[in-house]
A and B are shown apart, each in its own frame.
Chain A
Amino acid sequence: MNSDIAVAIAVSAIAYGTPLVLAGLGELLAERSGVLNLGVEGMMLMGAVTAFFTSQVMHGPGWAVLIVAVIAAGAAGAALALIHAFLSITIRVNQIVSGLALTIFAGVIGLSSYAGQVWNIGGQHGVHQLNKMDLFGLSGLPVVGPILFDQDAFVYLSWVLVVLVAYYLYRTRIGLYLRAVGESPRSADAMGINVTAYRYTHTVIGGFLAGLGGAYFTLAIAPIWTDGLTAGAGWIAIALVIFAFWRPDLLVVGAYLFGALSSLGFTLQANGVRLPAEFFSALPYLMTIVVLAGASTTLAKRRIGTPAALGVPYVREEA
């Protein structure tokens, strides 16, 4: 393989991996607080449809429209996450069923599709899209230029967020408290940490980031809205959190690996490899299963990663 193809694969890996990084980081924060949110797919779809609608109807300079669209997408995801937070934290229902409810509510045949109909944006072509930014004028450099210095603002934002989340988790006091809440809410509570507030905050931030991940689909990957366009990216993001052993640094690696897999079909077919298109489309899903099986046995053997209180509601009176 010559270096042109390698660079092309790397560039598309970043494009397809970016929504996974954003949504994955969000899920990672929620799970670190002990809340499993299986509604990522629904939150991403709502983010995607909201961002697209906002960018279509708003007037003004492109950058301003895009900023508002992105914030609106995040808010849509956060609003959905709030439902899950209320159900799973305050009234302590089964988090698995509540998360599934969120995805059914907002998913392919749910609110995201309904909103797309009511707003009448199906079939429209996007007006505003995130453009590549030539950072420091270095995009012309061989190999690293197109990969590191010729991305859109969202990609740079996702890199900043990864560093921020890693710093937050491992180098700040509230990050430490967050991990305590996810590992042992009872001890955290005894220390005077407000378990409920931590869980609410991180679940909602998780929803905001999932909304941003969804927005990347309609604002950068393809300038159109169709029902269910995330095609399972939300679920892959949840799986990525497990592969990454709940660590932001490994999450990025995993996300770009899956980004590369998602785009592998186009790249190989463009280079004359003839295999059914469905095979390439199925690759990311099949790989998720394989990697999940591998990661799970590792987790079980080494006893690392999983926040001990993940999925368990905290009730002070019953603990």
Chain B
Amino acid sequence: MIAVERNFDTPRWQRIALPIVSLVIAAFIAALVLAASGHDPIATYRQIYAASFTSTGALTATFVYATPLLFTGLCVAIAFRMQVWNIGGEGQLYMGAIGASGVGLALGGWPQPLLIVMMMLGGVLAGTIWALLPGLLRAYLRANEILTSLMLNYVAGLFMYYLIYDSTSYWRDLTSPTALVFPQGKDLLPNASWPGIPIGSFTLPFGFVAGAGLAVLLLALIRFTRVGFEMRVMGDSPAAANYAGMRTKRMIVAVMALSGALAGLGGASQIGDFSHVLDPRGLQQAQYGYTGIVVAALAQYNPLAVVIVSILIGALINAGFALQGPSFPPGLVGTMEGIILFSVLGGEFLGRYRIRIGRALQQTPAVGDASGSLSVDS
């Protein structure tokens, strides 16, 4: 017989081994999908590796995608860990980009360090507000935050389109003759560009460093502070948190706001680090918000692990854009992300349960079993 039994403690080595095993399994399943659709899996994996890691140019490109994923990954990790299901990272990132580019355009003449701080604040504020809406609805009206935060992704996307393509908004470039035919956003001044950190010919984006620093802070917040402790209790058992007199409603709102702030900062980084203009199509094409779910799950909702995983998934997305063509269709990236997520879920199961093949442990006597604990030897 095959029995599935609960494992109550997860050894530390398993927490590191499981994501790696999941990735290997995912690579294998994805290879089957590739082979089934007439592609050579080994060649495809080689291409992905070459496009994302082998040269400093490739590595720089990988970090272009890793940086937003670091923020959306943290956004999801912090929320899901607390059982607050914020799926709105996508829209919160758009709003962050709108906020940061608005600030960057308005304060273009300010000294650079101050301007960068203001842009970050603009992104954080916009992302927070966008996340507070589903957070408040969940906490005080019990509206399912999965659906409300997700609906707001579509609204934010449409709002961004409206600003650039369908209005004469502050964000839109209305001066150059080409911009009147092909609508585009206003370019930010050069001093609104965030300075990258050059390491040889490789450039580490400013946003990635900031995000990694935030990841450390978040880990400290969860591990060492009272608020973090309450959050962990709520994540493990909302009912227990309630009985212990913790203010769970406020906590839901706070977690949602923090989560939205992180995604909003990711949007600000998109403007400051990379595009320097509000570009709706560029922001939407990679689905950073949804991909953040994959990043966070693979990182087992641990902020520090998100830093590393964001680079891995960033490499995959970068390869998707770099290799786009008949041998590497666009849908492949999402398909692989989905397979990775399935494998992670399967791996979590292996960590939580033991599969015992053969005789089950005789912990409780079977009905009518006289040799069990009922028989007292005298």
Residues of A within 8 A of B (CB): 38, 83, 87, 91-94, 96-98, 100-118, 227, 231-232, 235, 238-239, 242, 276-279, 281-282, 285-286, 288-289, 292-293, 296-297, 299-300, 317-318
Contact = CB atoms under 8 A, between A and B. Distances in A.
A105 B335 CA distance: 5
B141 A102 contact: no
Contact of B330 (A117, A289, A292): A117
Interface in B120-157: 133-134, 137, 141-144, 146-148, 150-152, 154-155
Interface stretch (B159-167, B170-178, B196-204, B249-257): B159-167
A201 B144 CA distance: 26
Given A96-B146, A296-B141, A297-B141, A285 B334 contact: no
Contacts of A106: 338
A215 B93 CA distance: 32
B332 interface: yes
A297 B139 CA distance: 11
B147 A110 contact: no
Contact of B331 (A38, A96, A110, A292): A110
Nearest to B150: A235
Q: Nearest 7 A-B pairs (CB), nearest first?
A: A105-B338, A114-B331, A113-B331, A110-B334, A117-B329, A109-B334, A101-B341
Nearest to A100: B293
A289 B137 contact: yes
Contacts of B294: 104
Interface of B: 5-6, 37-38, 80, 85, 87, 133-134, 137, 141-144, 146-148, 150-152, 154-155, 158-159, 161-162, 166-167, 286-287, 290-291, 293-294, 297, 329-335, 337-339, 341-342, 345-346, 348-349, 353
A87 B338 contact: no
A109 B331 contact: yes
B154 A105 contact: no
B155 A105 contact: no
Given A109-B333, A113-B330, A277-B166, A292 B144 contact: yes
A222 to B, nearest CB: 19
A231 B161 CA distance: 15
A318 B342 CA distance: 24
26 contacts: A87-B346, A96-B146, A97-B341, A98-B345, A100-B87, A101-B342, A105-B338, A107-B338, A108-B287, A109-B286, A109-B330, A109-B334, A110-B338, A112-B331, A114-B332, A118-B37, A118-B38, A227-B331, A239-B144, A239-B151, A289-B133, A289-B148, A292-B148, A296-B137, A296-B141, A297-B141
Contacts of A103: 290
A201 to B, nearest CB: 21
A101 B338 contact: yes
B37 A114 contact: yes
A100 B291 CA distance: 10
A112 B155 CA distance: 23
B189 to A, nearest CB: 28
Contacts of B142: 296-297, 299-300
Contacts of A97: 80, 293, 297, 341, 345
Nearest to B286: A109
Given A97-B297, A285-B155, A289-B148, A108 B342 contact: no
Greatest chain B CB density within 10 A among A101, A238, A276 is at: A101
A286 B155 contact: yes
